[in-house]
Chain A
């Protein structure tokens, strides 16, 4: 383990306020959180707890009303839409519960999509996308469209897509929610191996037996983090 641990995510006093009628409701009410490089954190909490809001902010899909969010040392809490898009493109890989693959294009093109917006030229896009498809064991399905793939395969394509632009963090939102047990196991193994390779992963889930795969468990309730277990557990980078 290195002496200087790099902090990838640093949240300070994050609040997210919504106006409901003339009342202000706080979906997040003061979150302080540090996640180090290489951590595998599970974010848990019942629905309505603010878990999704927190994930949206962590994923740079949304901005906090108040507070500071440093991603990879850079303040991203109050960037413009386009800057947020650029940040998502370069620093965050998303894996969604319902895969969110584009149905009309092949698996390979789906994986290459973030590289399109990163401005990578088409030859390199294909090469890199192919490499990551191989990593998730779907090189032979590169030309298939998502609807020709099983749920587990789709999610593996989505993971390849999340990895393709070499992001600082992987945000996984209930990645196994739509999968059977066997596929769930496969997917979690991929996450484990990503963790072993030193990726920072944030996993949102409500299933405790999925959450235990992570090295750190965070529980969100009523807009605040109420439990934080296994903090700072970072596997040695092999």
Chain B
């Protein structure tokens, strides 16, 4: 009842003390703004991490050799040499729900073009690698099946390598030397930027797997096998199948340790996104504290306002205002502070996060959820911290209130 009137009373009262109302709102403005800005930074970090992990390839399993163990001295992970190209072929043939299998080898070499040189990681891969890692070729073409079969000396280079060796020249068709062997550049990869670990994903030279193994590195084993699973829900099943298959092939029985590792990119993604979610929550709750402090500010000012307006309350009661009328009037006043503060805070928070996104080194993501939550929180705070002063006002005895000087 008397909703409209209560609102106009609230606005009249707030306008009568503009500076005070503004300062009270400031607590809420800063609180809401901070929550939105902080959460948007947190969400930005999360989206960065998720997108960089998924740019590694989605639904991906990576099989890598285990560590060596000679007389109890264990080598580094991946130092074993028993993961073979045939293992990859067998996985492709025997395990279901797999889209692509791409074995790869990698080693660092000096790359030379003309009088320029550059040290980069050279990877030997099969053509399927392109699909698995969602790579794009900006000019030229990727390693083909026939390149792989014929052990052609061709190379696809990342944009960092291209810039460092060729500058502005088009690298496609040029010859580079890798470990003193001539390779023809057939393509340049689309830039993928930094990985989540801060690695430059464009600093790479890709050559056919067979060429790398036999002509360049003289290896009869592969350093990893990338596997793309067709369905994210089948990841665990496929992982298990691969483990069983490889244990069979490597003749590991009983409780003996695997001599390989199967890593799951989704679990990495989950961990990372969990971590960043925690970070977001942490940032949000720290900012949320300022929102609560803002609420206490509202309560404080409402208490002062009730005391100041004791006589007004007395007059209103004498003229027939009920407990509910007075309660409503003061409650709406504090809720209006919360609402206006919340709206300005949303503006401030969004503006702040856009500024940070534009000028800072962060990606910021504004989603409706924190905006909605912090806004309803600010309204709720206005309501909650308004209840006590409003009750105090509504319970005043009209005779004493009228006598109040």
Contacts and interface: CB of A to CB of B under 8 A. Distances in A.
Interface of A: 56, 59, 61-62, 81-82, 85-86, 88-90, 94, 96, 100-102, 104-105, 113-114, 116-119, 122, 161, 165
B315 A116 contact: no
Contacts of B4: 122
Contacts of B319: 88-89, 94, 113-114, 117, 161
A88 B322 CA distance: 10
- Tell me which of A85, A86, A88, A113 has the highest count of chain B C-beta atoms within 10 A of its own C-beta: A85
24 contacts: A56-B399, A59-B318, A62-B399, A81-B323, A82-B322, A85-B320, A85-B323, A85-B325, A88-B318, A88-B319, A89-B320, A90-B320, A94-B319, A100-B311, A100-B315, A100-B318, A100-B402, A104-B12, A104-B16, A114-B319, A114-B320, A116-B5, A117-B316, A122-B4
Q: Contact residue range for chain B?
A: 20 to 34
A102 B321 contact: no
B2 A119 contact: yes
A122 B312 CA distance: 21
B218 interface: no
Contact of B318 (A61, A81, A116, A165): A61
Interface in B346-405: 398-399, 402
A101 B318 CA distance: 12
B38 to A, nearest CB: 39
A85 B322 contact: yes
B153 interface: no
B323 A116 contact: no
B46 interface: no
Contacts of B5: 116
A96 B312 contact: no
Contacts of B398: 61
B318 A94 contact: yes
A113 B9 CA distance: 11
B181 interface: no
Secondary structure of the B contact surface, majority rule: helix
Q: Which of B324, B325, B398 has the most CB of A within 10 A?
A: B398
Contacts of B13: 104
Contacts of A116: 2, 5
B1 interface: yes
Contact of A96 (B12, B325, B402): B402
B323 A82 contact: yes
A161 B319 CA distance: 9
Interface string B300-316: 00000000000110111
A116 B7 CA distance: 13
Given A100-B311, A114-B320, A61 B399 contact: yes
Nearest to B312: A102
Nearest to A125: B5
B315 A117 contact: no
A118 to B, nearest CB: 7
A117 B320 contact: yes
Given A117-B322, A117-B325, A119-B1, A85 B16 contact: no
A184 to B, nearest CB: 22
B1, B320, B402 — most chain A CB neighbours (10 Å): B320
A88 B2 CA distance: 18
A100 B4 CA distance: 24
A118 B320 contact: yes
A159 B261 CA distance: 93
B2 A85 contact: no
Nearest to B17: A104
Contacts of B316: 102, 113, 117
A82 B326 CA distance: 11
Contacts of A101: 315
A113 B325 CA distance: 12
A114 B2 CA distance: 12
Given A100-B315, A116-B2, A88 B320 contact: yes
Given A61-B318, A100-B315, A82 B2 contact: no
Contacts of A122: 4
A216 B402 CA distance: 27
A86 B320 contact: yes
Nearest to A99: B315
B315 A86 contact: no
A177 to B, nearest CB: 14
A90 B2 CA distance: 17
Contacts of A89: 319-320
Nearest to A59: B318
A118 B1 CA distance: 11
A116 B6 CA distance: 10
A157 to B, nearest CB: 13
Contacts of A119: 1-2
B277 to A, nearest CB: 49
A114 B5 CA distance: 12
B326 to A, nearest CB: 9
Contacts of A118: 320
A206 B342 CA distance: 54
A227 B315 CA distance: 32
B315 A105 contact: no
A37 to B, nearest CB: 21
Contacts of A100: 311, 314-315, 318, 402
A206 to B, nearest CB: 17
Nearest to B326: A85
Nearest to A118: B320
A82 B13 CA distance: 24
Nearest to B394: A81
A204 to B, nearest CB: 14
Contact of A102 (B315, B323, B402): B315
